[in-house]
Amino acid sequence: MSDSDAAAVARALISRWEGFRSRPYLCPAGVPTIGYGFTHYADGTRVTLTDPPMERAAGDALLDHLLRTKYLRAAAVLCPTLSDPGHLGAITDFCFNLGAGALRASTLRQKILHQDWSAVPGQLRRWVRAQGRILPGLVARREAEAAYFPPTETL
């Protein structure tokens, strides 16, 4: 398995679903955010609505840094049974979007640890709410992640 392949999958999903915004904004959950959905900078400082704009190159570098040092590592440590780069990339996107704590405490993680791949898409589809509301963007994002866990054929 190649971590760079998994990182490429995660980066593509994050870029697609987060988009890039150079100016700080409030995300649907009401959290100050910038760039590709960043709520913190590399040094751990929280994003505020008064922060200066972020250049795209800085956003790309921060995304690569966070994938390498935080989110890809968290997904791999929490779910060591993820040997397929697509699987690891999709779960890394999940961690980026919701945090490693959500994965750590989830039934989704239990299904992954038991390699119950057919149950993973349904578990991903449960994570579509922000502030109690189902968000169409989260529904679509979870479907994109679930697509990396296609049903297996039985003979």
- pLDDT at position 45, please? 96
Name residue, tokens 């992954």. Answer: 112
Contact 119/108 with Cβ under 8 angstroms? Answer: no
Contact 66/35 with Cβ under 8 angstroms? Answer: no
Residue 95 and residue 79: Cα distance in Å, rounded?
11
What does the DSSP assignment read for 30-49? S-EEEETTBSB-TTSPBP-T
- pLDDT at position 2, please? 67
**Residuewise pLDDT in 10s, the chain (155 residues):** 468 999 999 999 999 999 999 999 998 889 999 999 999 999 999 999 999 999 999 999 999 999 999 999 999 999 999 999 999 999 999 999 999 999 999 999 999 999 999 999 999 999 999 889 999 999 999 999 999 999 875 54
For 146, how many CA atoms within 13 A lie in the half-sphere containing its CB?
19
Q: Domains of the chain by range and CATH?
A: 3-146 (1.10.530.40)
Name residue, tokens 């150079």. Answer: 22
Structure tokens at 155: 């003979």
- C-alpha distances (whole Å) from 132 to each of 28, 124, 128, 135 are 11, 16, 9, 9
Residues 6 or more apart whose Cβ sits within 8 Å of residue 93: 9, 10, 13, 14, 17, 141, 145
DSSP single-letter state for residue 56? H
Collapse the DSSP code of 27 into the 3-class scheme (helix H, G, I; strand E, B; otherwise coil) and give the result: coil
> Which amino acid, residue 10?
A
